[in-house]
C-alpha cells in the first residue's frame, strides 16, 4: 500500500465542548459505545448527514479527534476536538447565523440523548498543519476537594445533607484534619521539570507491547492550592479547596496520583520526603509497591486547553497529519 495526498475538498474546525463526566462511562470512542466522543460523533453526524448517516457516501471523510482523553468520571469545563468535514456541506462558520444554527442542532441532539451531559460551546475553522495535540500551549486541570468541618464530621457520616448529594460526583469528600499548609508545600515539590514515571499508570502488558518506552519528562508550570467554593448548594458544612495543575501535557492518571500524595501529606499519612523519593526514583511500579491509593476521578476537571490563536490558520510549526493522505492499495 502507498499514500497519496487527499484529493477530497475538506474543511477542518476546532470545536469547543464541555461535559459532565458522571454522565458517561468513558470519554474515548469505541469502548462501550456510549462515551463522550460517541455522543459528539452522533450529534454532529446526524445533523449533517441525517439519521442514517453511515449510508452517506461522504460520511467516511467525516473525522474527529479530541485534544485530551480524560479518565472515566473526569469532567471538562473547556476542551477541544478537531473536526474534519467535506466542503460539499459548505463552510459551517462562514457567518454567525449559520454557526449558531449548527451549534443549536448539535446541542439539541446531545440533550435529547443525554441531558446536560455534553454541550457544544463554539467552533471555528483551522488550517491543515494545525494539530489538536501537538499545537497545544498548555492544559489546565483543577481538582476539587471538600473537607468536612469538625463539628459536623460525625453527623454527616450518619445523615448526609443535600450538599453531600450535590457534591458526591463532583469533588473528593474528605474528613476534617486536612492541613492546607502541608498540602501547599507538596504542591511546590511538583513544580518544575521532573521525570513523572512514578505517577504514570503503565501496566506490565503495555510495557511488553511498546517497542519504545514513552517519554515521561514533564514540565509542571504550576501546582497550587487555593480556596474553592460549593458547586451548587452554598453551605458551611465543607471547606472547599481547588488544586490547580498546569502543563503542556500529562501522563495517564498523573494528576490523580499527585493528588493522592498531596492529600496523604496533608493528613500526615505520608511525608514530603516520600514524595521526593518517588520523584527521584521514577518507576511506575513504585506507586503500587508503596500502597498509595489513587485519588478518585470525580474531583478532576479539565478546565482549559490553550493554543496560540495565531496558529489556527497559520500553524508554526506545520504538522503533517495522517488525515492529509489517502491509502492507495
Q: Which CATH number fits domain 137-304: 3.40.30.10, 3.40.50.2300, 3.30.70.660, 3.40.50.300?
A: 3.30.70.660
For residues 17-28, average pLDDT: 96
Q: Write down the domain spans for the chain.
A: 8-126, 137-304
Round to whole Å and give the CA distance between 137 and 311: 11
pLDDT tens digit sequence for 101-126: 999 999 999 999 999 999 999 999 99
What is the pLDDT, as a whole number, of residue 191? 98
For residues 170-199, average pLDDT: 97
pLDDT tens digit sequence for 239-285: 999 999 999 999 999 999 999 999 999 999 999 999 999 999 999 88
Q: Could you give the angle at the alpha carbon of 300 between the alpha carbons of 203 and 162, nearest 5°?
A: 130
Round to whole Å and give the CA distance between 166 and 235: 11
Same fold, 8-126 and 137-304: yes
The per-residue pLDDT of the chain, averaged, comes to 90
For residues 13-30, average pLDDT: 94
Contacts for 224 with CB less than 8 Å, ≥ 6 apart: 184, 187, 243, 244
The continuous run of DSSP H or E covering 73 comes out as none
What is the pLDDT, as a whole number, of residue 137? 97
- pTM of the entire predicted model: 0.92
Confidence check: pLDDT of 59 > 80: no
Q: Does residue 152 have a cis bond before it (omega within 30 degrees)?
A: no
pLDDT tens digit sequence for 208-249: 667 677 899 999 999 999 999 999 999 999 999 999 999 999
Round to whole Å and give the CA distance between 53 and 41: 11
What is the pLDDT, as a whole number, of residue 56? 67
Q: With bands split at pLDDT 50, 70 and 90, how would you rate the model's confidence at 49?
A: confident
Closest CA to 220 of 253, 254, 252, 260: 254
Contacts for 328 with CB less than 8 Å, ≥ 6 apart: 1, 2, 3, 4
- As its CATH architecture, domain 8-126 has 2-Layer Sandwich (3.30)
Closest CA to 80 of 27, 129, 20, 14: 14
Q: What share of residues in the chain are helix, strand, coil (percent, to 5)?
A: 35, 30, 35
- Any long-range contacts for 92-101 (C-beta under 8 Å, 24+ apart)? 92/11, 92/13, 92/123, 93/13, 93/123, 93/124, 93/125, 99/123
For residues 19-33, average pLDDT: 92
Amino acid at each position: 500500500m502507498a499514500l497519496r495526498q487527499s484529493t477530497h475538498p475538506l474543511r477542518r474546525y476546532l470545536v469547543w465542548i464541555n461535559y459532565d463526566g458522571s454522565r458517561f462511562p468513558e470519554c474515548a470512542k469505541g469502548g462501550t459505545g456510549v462515551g463522550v466522543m460517541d455522543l459528539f460523533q452522533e450529534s454532529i453526524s446526524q445533523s449533517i448527514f441525517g439519521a442514517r448517516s453511515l449510508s452517506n457516501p461522504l460520511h467516511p471523510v467525516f473525522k474527529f479527534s479530541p485534544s485530551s482523553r480524560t479518565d472515566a468520571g473526569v469532567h471538562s469545563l473547556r476542551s477541544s476536538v478537531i473536526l474534519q468535514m467535506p466542503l460539499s456541506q459548505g463552510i459551517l462558520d462562514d457567518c454567525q447565523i449559520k454557526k449558531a444554527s449548527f451549534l443549536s442542532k448539535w446541542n439539541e441532539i446531545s440533550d435529547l440523548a443525554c441531558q446536560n451531559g455534553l454541550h457544544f460551546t463554539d467552533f471555528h475553522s483551522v488550517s491543515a498543519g494545525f494539530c489538536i495535540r501537538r499545537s497545544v500551549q498548555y492544559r489546565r486541570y483543577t481538582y476539587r476537594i471538600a473537607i468536612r468541618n469538625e463539628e459536623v464530621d460525625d453527623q454527616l457520616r450518619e445523615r448526609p445533607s443535600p450538599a453531600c448529594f450535590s457534591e458526591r460526583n463532583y469533588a473528593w469528600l474528605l474528613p476534617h484534619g486536612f492541613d492546607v499548609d502541608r498540602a501547599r508545600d507538596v504542591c511546590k515539590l511538583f513544580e518544575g521539570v521532573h521525570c513523572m514515571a512514578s505517577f504514570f499508570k503503565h501496566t506490565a502488558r503495555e510495557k511488553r507491547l511498546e517497542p519504545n518506552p514513552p517519554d515521561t519528562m514533564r514540565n509542571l508550570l504550576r501546582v497550587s492550592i487555593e480556596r474553592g467554593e460549593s458547586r451548587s448548594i452554598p453551605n458551611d458544612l465543607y471547606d472547599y479547596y481547588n488544586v490547580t495543575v498546569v502543563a503542556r501535557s500529562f501522563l495517564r492518571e498523573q494528576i490523580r496520583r499527585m493528588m493522592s500524595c498531596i492529600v496523604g501529606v496533608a493528613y500526615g499519612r505520608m511525608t514530603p520526603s516520600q514524595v521526593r523519593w518517588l520523584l527521584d526514583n521514577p518507576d511506575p511500579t513504585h506507586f503500587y509497591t508503596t500502597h498509595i491509593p489513587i485519588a478518585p476521578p470525580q474531583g478532576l476537571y479539565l478546565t482549559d486547553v490553550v493554543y496560540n490563536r495565531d496558529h489556527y490558520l497559520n500553524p508554526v510549526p506545520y504538522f503533517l497529519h495522517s488525515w492529509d493522505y489517502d491509502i492507495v492499495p
